[in-house]
Amino acid sequence: MDTLHGMVRALCAVALFSGAAAAQNATFQAGLDRAQVGIGEQFTLQFTLANAGTGGGANLQLPDLGKFHIMSGPNESSSMQIVNGAVSSSVTYSYVLQPKEQGKFTIGAATIEAGGVTLKSAPVAIEVVKGSTRPKQQAGGQDDAMAQIGENLYLKATVDRTRVAQGEQVNLVFKIYTRVSIASYAVEKNPTMTGFWGEDVETPKNIQTNPETLNGKQFRVGIIKRMALFPTQSGELEIGPMEVQSAVQIQDRRSMDPFESFFRDPFGRQVNYVVKSDPIKIRVDPLPPDPPSDFKGAVGQFAMSTTVDKKSTRTNEPIDLKVTVSGTGNIKLIESPAVELPSDFEQYTPKVSDNINRTGDRISGSKTFEYLLIPRYPGMKVIKPVTFSYYDPSKKEYVRLHSPQIELNVEQGAVAVTPLITGGTQEDVRLLSQDIRFIKLGEPDLSPRGEHFRTNGVFIAMLLLPLACAGGAFVYARQRKAEMLDQAGYRNRRAIKVARKGLKQAEYLLKEKGSSGAPASNQRLRFYGEISKALWKYMGDKLNIPQSAFSIEGAVAELGLRAVPGDIITSLKALLETCDLARFAPTSLDLAVMQRTYDEAQRIIVALERILR
């Protein structure tokens, strides 16, 4: 029993001692939640008494706060910690104040009695400025809570760099800094990113918070959004603010009234609070001038590969050409590289598929372009190397990639008689449905090739024959015409013919017997007439003398000039006289005389013809 008493007393002694010791270490500090405040805004003045021992503080004397309205307070809160058996405790008295006028003020020292000692706090300075230093908060009743949240909850946007080349990746991170407990949050407004193409980077579903110090205060920090941005234009670009609405769990510490506390939600209440990040400016440098002709805006580091599914095919059977670009950079923005095909290939728009990895620090992945090619004609075909250019921001230069040349062997597919339907006009369709007509089965009528006609003798003869006919006719006609123009020669040559004709007529008359067996008298007259006419005509033609200007004497003289022998001239003269006599005095006209006259005439003409040639 005694021993028990002793132990209790010893414990009490320890407790008292320690309490006294604590009182001796007590501190009293003044603090402001911020150094600058706008007029009409509220701020918190805190006095913290630490290690005051069991007795706590008493008789708190405030400094002169005439420049401020006391909106609430004192709000008292206490805490106690035991760390490794060492007990520490603190009591905080806080006042919410609102400045009355602007300027720089010093809040003087406050005093408090603790453990029989009077403690004095250090003075604190505050600057009151015009206007607001933080977003306007919601309606009056909640001002206090808002103010509390406002200084304990921030949304900060950060980028890993503020100056990039066009198309280069910028990592944008939205972090929430909090000292309050957030029940839930929702993105109210996504940031505006004009001039960027943004890709969300995956973040863990459950926000992990890490401690971080901001302005000397410990915050819990969680990443709520991570983005990879690729500027699509150059110049000064701005990332707009993001707004997040968060439901904040607060506990009202205003009243210490136990009854009031009793009716309150023991977990505090929720307040909706909107936090907003600051806009960020990013300077985007344009790409160097003179890009390669096939550069289409790819920026990063890439590799390219091409594959065909088969090296040889038949006409009209498709080939699959795959071009894969992989690497890091703005993969999504890569356009299909141009594939230069032999012109008899049919080419379709490529099928594009991409596979983008959004988890790492840099966006990476691959983009595949599948070209369907249909060869229409057989032969060895060459697909020229596919080229792809990109800008490498780390090397600060353009890089051009080449694939190897692809050779394809195209064989003739199905028989080409199946028509290639080329046009679409009505007429084509009608004709295509028709077939060619049948072959000719008759005699082929073959001839040596290239010989369309033969220039042999027969041909030439046939060609010349009509010409010769016409020519002959022409020559004959010309001759005849010439003879007609040469009257004297013509008469000369014709004389004998005419004379013979006359003699023939005379002979006919001589031979023709009348009904009495002898020629009739008129017949005899005509006989002499014919003989005479023939002789005269002959001489007229031969000597080229018109018959009208003709007499026996004239004729004899003319004949004499032409060296006709005298006996012939005499005979001719006698004959002509006989004829005249017989015609004008028809007396003794018997057949024998007629016969003699005829013979004489014939003899003279023959003789004359011989001389007058």
Among 236, 397, 443, 553, binds another protein (CB under 8 A): 443
Least distance from C-beta 297 to another protein, angstroms? 29
Nearer to another protein by Cβ, of 454 and 504: the residue is 454
474 counts as binding another protein under rule CB under 8 A: yes
Per CB under 8 A, the segment of 47-55, 110-118, 458-466, 535-543 that binds another protein is: 458-466
Among 80, 86, 417, 458, binds another protein (CB under 8 A): 417
Among 419, 554, 560, 586, binds another protein (CB under 8 A): 419
470 counts as binding another protein under rule CB under 8 A: yes
Q: What is the 3-state secondary structure (H, E, C) of 471-496?
A: HHHHHHHHHHHHHHHCHHHHHHHHHH
- What is the distance between the alpha carbons of residues 132 and 79, in angstroms, rounded to a whole number? 33
477 counts as binding another protein under rule CB under 8 A: yes
- What is the distance between the alpha carbons of residues 549 and 527, in angstroms, rounded to a whole number? 24
Helix (H), strand (E) at residue 610: helix 591-611
467 counts as binding another protein under rule CB under 8 A: yes
Among 133, 218, 447, 522, binds another protein (CB under 8 A): 447
516 counts as binding another protein under rule CB under 8 A: no
484 counts as binding another protein under rule CB under 8 A: no
Angle between helices 521-543 and 566-584 (to 10 degrees): 140
Bridge partner residues of 274 (DSSP): 245
List Cα–Cα distances, 585 to 17, 193, 505, 527, 573, in angstroms. 224, 159, 22, 14, 18
Nearer to another protein by Cβ, of 462 and 585: the residue is 462
Tokens of 185: 């949050």
Least distance from C-beta 340 to another protein, angstroms? 12
* Site for another protein, residues 386 to 415, rule: CB under 8 A: 415
Range 146-151, long-range pairs (CB < 8 A, 24+ positions): 146/271, 146/273, 147/41, 147/42, 147/43, 147/44, 147/96, 148/44, 148/180, 148/250, 149/180, 149/248, 149/250, 149/271, 149/273, 150/273, 151/33, 151/34
Least distance from C-beta 461 to another protein, angstroms? 12
DSSP structure string for 12-79: HHHHHHHHHHHHHH-EEEEEES-SEEETT--EEEEEEEES--TT-EEEEE----TTEEEEEEEEEEEE
Q: How far apart are the first and last CA of the chain?
A: 213
DSSP structure string for 491-536: HHHHHHHHHHHHHHHHHHHHH---TTSS--HHHHHHHHHHHHHHHH
Least distance from C-beta 584 to another protein, angstroms? 40
Nearer to another protein by Cβ, of 470 and 488: the residue is 470
Least distance from C-beta 496 to another protein, angstroms? 23
- What is the distance between the alpha carbons of residues 558 and 495, in angstroms, rounded to a whole number? 16
Least distance from C-beta 382 to another protein, angstroms? 13
DSSP structure string for 366-377: EEEEEEEEEE-S
Nearer to another protein by Cβ, of 314 and 504: the residue is 314
449 counts as binding another protein under rule CB under 8 A: yes
Its sign, for the CA torsion 220, 221, 222, 224, is positive
452 counts as binding another protein under rule CB under 8 A: yes
Per CB under 8 A, the segment of 45-53, 146-154, 216-224, 435-443 that binds another protein is: 435-443
485 counts as binding another protein under rule CB under 8 A: no
Per CB under 8 A, the segment of 6-14, 275-283, 287-295, 472-480 that binds another protein is: 472-480
3-state DSSP call for residue 357? strand
340 counts as binding another protein under rule CB under 8 A: no
Among 435, 458, 567, 588, binds another protein (CB under 8 A): 435
Per CB under 8 A, the segment of 18-26, 33-41, 372-380, 394-402 that binds another protein is: 372-380
Among 103, 123, 360, 472, binds another protein (CB under 8 A): 472
Among 83, 86, 139, 420, binds another protein (CB under 8 A): 420
- Binding positions for another protein, rule: CB under 8 A: 342-344, 376-379, 415-417, 419-420, 422-423, 428, 431-432, 434-450, 452-453, 462-463, 466-467, 469-470, 472-474, 476-477
